[in-house]
Amino acid sequence: MKQMRTALDFYYQNNGQYPDGDFELGNPPSGCYGWDSSSKGTFVSSLVTGNVMKKTATDPSNSGTYCFGSDDKEYYYHRYGGDYCTDACKGKPFYILGVSTMETLSTHKPNGKHSSSPGWACHATGWVGPVPGDPTYRDWNLEFDWVAGVCE
């Protein structure tokens, strides 16, 4: 994941923005709410064609169900527009890179983020989620075992 973040940073330096994914729209099984994954999606190929990675990286496991299943061991990527996370990124676009279930864990553990996870949360426009006291606060640490977010 560290190497993937480094490749994303190089891509940003060369292009002035992070890559878009192919944003597979729709709900599972045909799409994943706009998220690319290590088994489906194109954001990694943008890193290859952008000359910041030599070959497409895939998760060796790619096990479980595509799109955030309880035993899903894939990584996910999504680039959001600037109007989604108004506090953390001050209206600028950002990306989320996350691992649904770390391979060292048997199942995803909500609220149990991996010790190496940088974490990410913000007040999200249009989001109504399960954070007590503030349903507009989206905490990706509840959705992923490892997650990082970066503003443009």
pLDDT tens for each residue of 87-107? 889 889 999 998 887 766 655
Q: How far apart are CA 90 and CA 93, in angstroms?
A: 9
The tens digit of pLDDT for each residue in 45-90 reads: 788 888 888 776 665 565 555 676 655 677 888 898 888 888 889 8
pLDDT at residue 149 in the model? 94
Q: How many CB atoms lie within 10 A of CB 51?
A: 10
Q: How far apart are CA 69 and CA 107, in angstroms?
A: 9
Looking up tokens 């996350």, which residue turns up?
A: 98
The three-class DSSP label of residue 42 is coil
Measure CA 5 to chain center. 11
Q: How far apart are CA 81 and CA 68, in angstroms?
A: 22
The three-class DSSP label of residue 13 is helix
pTM summary value = 0.83
